[in-house]
Copies of this chain bind each other. A is one copy, B any other.
Amino acid sequence: MKSLHRYDLYEWSAFNEERNIDFNSIAWIRPDGNILIDPLPLSAHDYEHLKSLGDVRWIVITNSDHVRAAREIAHLTGAQIAGPTAEQGHFSIMCDRWLSDSEELVPGLQVIELHGSKTPGELALLLEKTTLITGDLVRAHKAGSLMILPNEKLSNREQAVASVQRLANIGEIEVVLVGDGWSVFRDGGLALKELAARL
């Protein structure tokens, strides 16, 4: 796994040939049990690396299109799975917990529900106020600037734009880690504001 901007955050990625972008997964290493977000299949090397960093307590899935290897990794690690409350009725795997807006999964990991994306109640996660983690709605196919899903994928563009405006108005964001594409490691809050202004 690759070190991110904090030494307790790691990422592993897989290049997607259909879209010519990397898909990304996050590991947050914590004394009380590590948390994985939208985990892709792990190579043997990355799996050993992850195991060396302690137990996995939670896997968070931001939306039903990002289930990826969650079930297999939960089985291997004994982690519990958390998913978006708004998808509870038709999620493809069983979750141990359903997450709604403003709650914290664990201290320091705040849940934000987005609306109007391709699935209802897609989750974004705000890690200790400064690192925003997004699933599908906010993404980056071009390095250094953020974008949203194309209109034809959105269930409600007005709601999606309002959700992005809400993210852009969060004051302290420094870094935006995207599930799909290029994360923004400097001026992440500004990149969100630039995105909101373009919509």
Query: Chain A residues in contact with chain B, CB under 8 A?
Result: 1-5, 7, 12-13, 15, 17, 20-22, 43, 45, 49, 141-145, 175, 182-187, 190-191
Contacts and interface: CB of A to CB of B under 8 A. Distances in A.
B144 A186 contact: yes
Contacts of A5: 142-145
A7 B141 CA distance: 11
A104 B145 CA distance: 29
Interface of A is mostly: loop
A154 to B, nearest CB: 22
A7 B144 CA distance: 12
Q: Report how many copies the assembly holds.
A: 2
Contact of A20 (B2, B17, B175, B187): B2
A125 B7 CA distance: 30
A98 B72 CA distance: 51
Contacts of A4: 142-143
Contacts of A185: 143-144, 182, 184, 186
Most chain B CB neighbours (cut-off 10 Å) among A5, A7, A49, A144: A144
A143 B183 contact: yes
A192 to B, nearest CB: 12
Contacts of A144: 5, 175, 185-186
